[in-house]
Amino acid sequence: MRAGTPSDWTQWTHVAEISLESGDEKYGKLTLVPQIYDISRRELNDIRIIASDGLQIPYVLFRASDKSSIEEFYPAELNRGVTTTGAASLTVDFGKQEIKDAISVNTEGNNFRRRVEVEGSNDNIDFLTLMKKGYVFAVPHNGGAQKFQSINLPRNDFRYLRISVYPDGIETVTISKIHAWRKKEVVAPRQLVEMVPLGQQEDQEKQSSMFIYDLQFQNLPLTEIKLDTADESFYRYVTIEGRDQATRKIEISGEDNRQRFREVEVPWRYITSGTIYKYQTNEGDYGGSTSLSIGGKAVPRYIRVAIKNYDDKPLSITSVRGQMLPHELVFPRPNDNKCTVYIGCANARPPKYDLQHTLRQPQSVRAGSVSIVNIRPNTLFREAPGPVTAWTEKHQVIFRLVLVAAVLVLGGFIVRSLKSILSQKNQGQ
């Protein structure tokens, strides 16, 4: 299957070879590398695969996705009580044996960290311990509280669960409600993205720590950013912003035809925000979350991480790591296993191939291993000519002088003509 080909490739900025391993697969699958995102347009519609005979090879562009499903259970309450150690206890019945691997324990309060113990049974008599060191906690936030009450459990099918929540110091604990779920999740493989630190500063006015990083390429489809810290216990609000350059030039208009520019700072663009936290249990274990989801959208090259400290001392950030879920191309492999890829064209239109409609599940296609090598500037590239500037725009001063002179000449002619007419009129009287 082949598609048509443009008349030339002079509008594409880069070219590279595609290396296909020998095999009997009908298709090849190419995973896009970070450099392609940096060269190509954000929409990735300026990628063309060319066979050795010069014809286009059609392809399907896609990105694998995580697949997950959740089935929730709301068990009936059987027994409530308080243990000899002061823990609130609740036994629940799922009606039958149900496979589950997570539970939500909702308790009252706006500022706490409570240990949770979970036991399971099929006869409501003999219980086995599923977890002794699960934790739920709440942090005051905007006049209320942000609660973290989900606990992952060992996968089990017990009909009965007994949940015990231990008080955080001197307090009375009340369990509001319990629900559980089981989840099936297939996570698409990620690629680590290096984030090179460029600088750090403390903003005393905003009570924030600012960290700037370079992804080295723009438009990478980041799925998350993880912050590693040496601190043992914290709860902070984080904002992530980005931009592709620090400054840009703006043309200043003038009376003459000389071009003048001034540098202006490029503002940071909001990407995402959320909370990171970490805590230490009474037994010495650690729990928490220090990752922020980006969602797989294309981000600028430079990233600024702002951590709101309020009145606490700044966190000690040891590293910041990114992950991305790259796009893939599936295409029919040529008979001679030789093909080239062109990348980067400012005015390319999205390609339209029959394959995009006939190949419904490209991620499931049996395809041979493909790699891209030697990405380099295209020697055929010729920059498209810019818009033609009118002579009157390029030489405004001269044009204005000529216009003034023409007005003066025309005005003089009119004055002389008027005097001649008046003189002839006077002589006739």
pLDDT digits (tens, 9 = 90+) for 259-278: 777 888 899 999 999 999 98
Q: Which residues lie across from 302 on neighbouring strands?
A: 214, 243
pLDDT band at 252 (very low <50, low <70, confident <90, very high): confident
Six-digit token pair at 309?
Answer: 């400290």
**Which letter does DSSP use for residue 346 in this model?**
T
The more confidently predicted of residues 203 and 414 is: 203
Say whether pLDDT at 297 is over 50: yes
Tell me the domain boundaries of the chain: 14-63+326-377, 69-186, 191-324, 391-428
Six-digit token pair at 119?
Answer: 């036991």
For residue 139, the tally of other CB atoms under 10 A from its CB is 16
CA distance 140 to 77: 29
pLDDT (average), residues 387-412: 61
Half-sphere exposure for 295 (CA within 13 Å, toward CB) = 8
Say whether pLDDT at 41 is over 60: yes
CA distance 21 to 50: 17
pLDDT (average), residues 136-146: 85
pLDDT band at 249 (very low <50, low <70, confident <90, very high): confident
Q: Supply the pLDDT for residue 66.
A: 84
Same CATH fold assignment for domains 69-186 and 191-324: yes
Report the CATH architecture of 69-186. Answer: Sandwich (2.60)
Q: Which residues does 154 contact at the CB level (< 8 Å), separation at least 6?
A: 101, 130, 131
Say whether pLDDT at 156 is over 90: yes
Six-digit token pair at 49?
Answer: 């695969």
3-state secondary structure of 65: coil
| Average pLDDT value for the chain | 87
The more confidently predicted of residues 30 and 254 is: 30
- Model confidence, pTM: 0.69
CA distance 243 to 7: 36
Q: What is the largest CA-CA distance in the chain?
A: 136
What's the length of the chain?
429
The more confidently predicted of residues 8 and 290 is: 290
Say whether pLDDT at 421 is over 80: no
CA distance 200 to 315: 12
pLDDT band at 8 (very low <50, low <70, confident <90, very high): confident
Lowest model confidence (mean pLDDT) among 191-205, 297-311, 370-384: 370-384
Q: Supply the pLDDT for residue 288.
A: 84
Q: Supply the pLDDT for residue 388.
A: 46
Say whether pLDDT at 404 is over 70: no
Lowest model confidence (mean pLDDT) among 49-63, 81-95, 161-175, 391-405: 391-405
Q: Does domain 191-324 have CATH number 2.60.120?
A: yes
